[in-house]
Amino acid sequence: DTEVTQTPKHLVMGMTNKKSLKCEQHMGHRAMYWYKQKAKKPPELMFVYSYEKLSINESVPSRFSPECPNSSLLNLHLHALQPEDSALYLCASSQDAGELFFGSGTQLSVL
């Protein structure tokens, strides 16, 4: 099984809302990632968790808050987002620095 599952697939939220994106993998991978992708652009790295500890934060604004409750789950908590944060949010996992596997993403719209 090489599946990374993301929920929800679509999310519309207001600028005062709090919401969470969820990601799950059962491949035994110990590295998990959040990427942000704007239309017609490549994915850009936001956060990396390695062995459930945050190892990379690419200077992401604090209105995005990642959480790794266990080795299979990764959350991204959203609060007070701006319309320019509207994008496709992709979760990925890998075994250490090996092959990266992506979920199908959450299409986020901030109104």
Partner 1 sequence: GIQVEQSPPDLILQEGANSTLRCNFSDSVNNLQWFHQNPWGQLINLFYIPSGTKQNGRLSATTVATERYSLLYISSSQTTDSGVYFCAVRNKLVFGAGTILRVKS
Q: What span, in angstroms and rounded, lies between the C-alpha atoms of 89 and 103?
A: 9
* Binding window for partner 1 (CB under 8 A); candidates: 17-25, 37-45, 64-72, 74-82: 37-45
Contact call for residue 60 and partner 1 (CB under 8 A): no
* 107 binding partner 1? (CB under 8 A): yes
Stretch of 13-21, 22-30, 67-75, 93-101 contacting partner 1, by CB under 8 A = 93-101
96 φψ region: left (φ > 0), alpha (ψ -120 to 50), beta (else)? left
Query: In the complex, what is the shortest distance from the CB of residue 9 to partner 1, in angstroms, rounded to a whole number?
Result: 9
Whether the CB-CB separation of 91 and 32 falls below 8 Å is answered with yes
Q: By CB under 8 A, is residue 111 in contact with partner 1? A: no
Q: Judged by CB under 8 A, does residue 97 bind partner 1?
A: yes
Query: CB within 8 A of 29, min separation 6: which ones?
Result: 71, 93, 94, 95, 101
